A and B are shown apart, each in its own frame.
Chain A
Amino acid sequence: MTGSALLSTWFPEAASTHAASVDEPFYWIYFAAVCFLALFMGLVLIQLRVYRRQDRDQLGAVTGRPNPVFVTLWVAAAMGLALFGFITGLPGFINQTTPPWGAFEIDVTASQWAWEFTYPNGHVADTLHVPVGRPIRLNLGSTDVSHSLAVPALRVNKAAVPGREVQAWFEVTTPGTYALQSNTFSGDGFADMRSELVAHAPVDFGAWMEEVSDIFKGRTLVEVGELLYTRHGCAACHSVDGTKLVGPSFKDLYGYEFDTIEGARVLADDAYIRQSILEPNISVIAGYQPIMASFTGIIDDREIEAITAWFKTLSSKGGAAPDAQEEN
């Protein structure tokens, strides 16, 4: 039947719990609107025929007043349609603006012209991976112009604007890969603002998360060290170019000797660096405050090894590159 064919072409296949609260009001309004339009246009066309001028000098009825009953009915019908549309669409809207507690949170940063999805464990990707059957909350922001994040299959469409954090949430019902795009024109590369949302079954999502979270995969030790430097916010207090910030610079740190505030002298070797990260305030370098927090339980041994390897590359006393060492 063409009618149902036309109905089914309006929306892409629904893949979220939210979809029904968009589609159903839409179809109700659609149905009512078509009836309304047909009634109105029918009345126009019928009257054009019925009251056709018969001869040149014929006049229309001389007097005429609005019929109060018809006016009331017509206004009530129009107002009714508008109100009905508003009320059917309300629950879905309210539901969409109140993310449930305990949702899985992902930070979304839009920029010209790429997406950046940051997971709770710090993993960053340019495609959005989520588990099925669990509420997901997106914290949207932009670094430059206005963007928006739209996933038509989930009926999600939210702004990502600079200087304002906007939240969106959804719960995917069917595993699969769905198109994700921006609907807000953002300049020449706009067509590149396309990505994907991959919805995994819960088990698969866990596996995926574990795999991509293994930062040692596909990276050398030095690269991991540098990644940890940005990811754990060391950059706020430590520079890599010799500039003195709140903490000492990492440039020319490894292999050098320093005075502590107790007047002792320490050599920055592997063991010392490990101690400085896990228990930073045991020996505090002279000229600095003991304000660095311990990273015990946050950075593990292997990662300390990576950081140390990276420190060596920043120091003139670091020796040969660690990769070369490994080969020996």
Chain B
Amino acid sequence: MSVGTRTTAAETQPSYLADKRGLGEWFSTCDHKKIGLMFLGWTVFALLVGSLSGVFPVAKSLGGRGLEPRFIFEATTYHRLLLLFLFLVPALPSVFGFFLLPMQLGARNMALPALSRFSLRFYVIGLVLILVSMFTGPIATGWTLAAPLSSTDPGSFILVAAGLFCATLSWFLTGINIFVTVHYKRAPGMGFFDMPIMAWSLYLTSYMLIAVGVLFGVVIAYLAASRAGDVGLFALNPGLWTDYFWFLVTPSVFFALLPGMGVVFEVVAGISRRAVVGYRMVVGAMITLLGLSFLTWGVYLAGQGQGQDPTTTLVFSAISLLTAVPVALLTYGLLATMNQGSIAGDGPDTFMVGFLLHGGIVCLMGVFLASPAPGAYLGTTMFVSTQLDYLVWGGAVFALLAGLHYWWPKMVGVEYSREVARIGGIFAIIGLNLALIPRLIMGTQGVAQDMIAFVDGPAGLSELSALGWLIATLGMGVVAGNLYASTWSGRKAEANPWGAGTLEWRTDSPPPEKNFETPPEIEGAYRY
């Protein structure tokens, strides 16, 4: 079968980008594709600002003068807050949850289109509030907002808390929307096990977004209350904050790789032109991972050195060992899908490889941290903060890039230069590892977490790491520039450039506003 016959949208329908233009339309739109695209823009903006504020500590580590310690702590705080809470957690589920999910389910829009708009608005309000606080009075509490530090900080803490509250509200609304869409908007005849893995990973992530979004919002409000009026839970016992924080952050942050894994499965299946091998095994593994994610928080709490009793630490370490099983099943599924595939070896594959490499490093670092004696020593060192770096840039950014290079033709309807993407991607991978491996060594050498600026560790490591950042930035610049340039290169994309087998490729590139003229017929999750 040739690619063209799959298109069910009428030829005459204008694409969602050409239809209804103008700023007002983008502001008030309920179209899931436009909202997904705007989420892409805003989350990448948060990523940029967050990454940029990380430049100051690096400059200080290279001997930069005139940088006061307080300023460095502020920069580090915003660096982490933006990267983790406004990029790592929301980016993948919101960009792909909105842009992709309805198309993968053969639907015309999200189940709650008006709510999609509010997800975006709350996200933007949250981001803006946090950015405003950078000017009115930046906080320097560290990204864990540790109480009682956060109640005495002279910065505009209330603004930051309000910002985070809006952001978590946005997580919650996005989660609800994804959940309801999966339950009610699947095309007629599509069962749960006819959904692509990406849709599954978004569905499972929605549980996390709903639970964590609402709880995190509540505890942040409590924290703000304990500062503003000395009322509530944390005013009575500031020590409790740490427990709540890690209980909520561990699943949302450390398992942000779940939707990333979904992206990579989709990419691998699509470019290999093969159904995911061991589909049910993979779904089962993802469900297990979600369940375990809520049970492993104590490992990081122990690592954060809150002096909990040793038995608790051991129990949590032992539970976290179990995550090895679902992770092994997922990686096996990937390898088996590639096996005997027909792999289109350019475009998203470089980023997929990058994601697997860095995701692998994150998981293996987990083995070091769950090993009791080394874990106790490394738990508060730069070894742990570097795991976060690998998660953000190596995991989420590379998953986003893999997804973008796979769905770009669908999103904007043009082809990018695959050679340039590959070269940029390779530079980004080399640069990132050159930047982060020295930081791992600083960690084992005993440098405190996130304290790159105040290091007198082994000579040359800071310089090497800075050089790595430079190379990575160049590589990322090339990759982003390449995507951007493609929008006016005018090489129009086909409806299904990879010959992939999921529903979103059966409509035009870019799709018309209603995606599908008639609901597509369903034959399993992947049909080639």
Using CB atoms and an 8 Å cutoff, list the residues of chain A in contact with chain B.
9-12, 21-22, 25-26, 29-30, 33, 36-37, 40-41, 43-45, 47-49, 51-54, 56-62, 64-67, 70-71, 74-75, 77-79, 81-83, 85-86, 88-94, 96-97, 140, 144-146, 148, 150, 152-153, 155-164, 166, 179, 181-191
Contact = CB atoms under 8 A, between A and B. Distances in A.
Interface in B449-471: 449-451, 454, 458
B318 interface: yes
B373 A92 contact: yes
Contacts, number: 263
A9 B441 contact: yes
Given A10-B441, A51-B342, A184-B305, A60 B272 contact: yes
Given A53-B344, A191-B454, A181 B448 contact: yes
A164 B146 contact: no
Interface of B: 2, 69-70, 73, 140-142, 144, 146, 148-149, 152-153, 239, 242, 271-275, 277-278, 281, 304-307, 310, 313-314, 317-318, 321, 323-325, 327-329, 331-345, 349, 353, 356-357, 360-361, 364, 367-368, 370-381, 441, 444-446, 448-451, 454, 458, 499, 528
Nearest to B367: A85
A78 B335 CA distance: 15
A61 B341 contact: yes
Contacts of B70: 188
Nearest to B285: A75
29 contacts: A11-B445, A29-B368, A33-B368, A37-B360, A44-B335, A44-B338, A44-B353, A44-B356, A48-B349, A51-B340, A53-B344, A57-B499, A60-B274, A64-B339, A70-B336, A71-B278, A75-B324, A86-B318, A86-B321, A86-B370, A92-B374, A97-B310, A140-B307, A146-B146, A150-B381, A158-B305, A185-B450, A190-B69, A190-B451
Contacts of A163: 239
Contacts of A45: 353
Given A86-B321, A179-B446, A74 B328 contact: yes
A157 B340 contact: no
Contacts of B69: 188-191
B448 A146 contact: no
A158 B303 CA distance: 10
A81 B445 contact: no
A48 B306 contact: no
A64 to B, nearest CB: 4
B325 A48 contact: no
Contact of A22 (B73, B140, B318, B377): B377
A48 B408 CA distance: 21
Nearest to A49: B345
Nearest to B77: A185
Given A85-B367, A162-B239, 13 more contacts: A22-B373, A22-B377, A26-B374, A26-B444, A29-B368, A40-B335, A41-B356, A43-B335, A86-B321, A92-B374, A148-B305, A157-B379, A166-B307
A179 B307 CA distance: 22
A152 B446 CA distance: 5
B155 to A, nearest CB: 11
B148 A150 contact: no
A190 B73 contact: yes
A164 to B, nearest CB: 5
Given A29-B367, A59-B528, A53 B342 contact: yes
A51 B339 CA distance: 7
A78 B444 contact: no
Contacts of A9: 441, 445, 458
Contact of A159 (B307, B339, B353, B449): B307
**Across chains A and B, which 10 residue pairs bring their CB atoms closest together, nearest first?**
A152-B446, A92-B373, A60-B274, A89-B371, A93-B372, A78-B328, A183-B380, A159-B305, A66-B278, A61-B340
Given A12-B446, A47-B338, A83-B321, A158 B307 contact: yes
A166 B306 CA distance: 9
A179 B281 CA distance: 50
A51 B336 CA distance: 12
Given A10-B441, A48-B345, A51-B338, A89 B325 contact: no
Nearest to A78: B328
A48 B371 contact: no
A87 to B, nearest CB: 9
A111 B356 CA distance: 43
B146 A60 contact: no
B367 A88 contact: no
A144 to B, nearest CB: 7
Contact of B328 (A48, A75, A148): A75
Contact of A74 (B332, B367, B373): B332
Contacts of A79: 321, 324-325, 328
Contact of B380 (A58, A148, A189): A148
A150 B450 CA distance: 15
Contacts of A158: 305, 307
B357 A188 contact: no
A274 B357 CA distance: 76
A41 B360 contact: yes
A275 B477 CA distance: 83
Nearest to B313: A93
Contact of A59 (B273, B375, B378): B273
Contacts of B370: 82, 85-86
A36 B349 contact: no
B444 A11 contact: yes
A12 B377 CA distance: 13
A29 B340 CA distance: 33
Contacts of B373: 21-22, 25, 89-93, 96
Nearest to A179: B446
Contact of B345 (A53, A140, A148): A53
Nearest to B317: A86
Given A71-B332, A144-B148, A166-B307, A48 B353 contact: yes
Contacts of A49: 345
B501 to A, nearest CB: 9
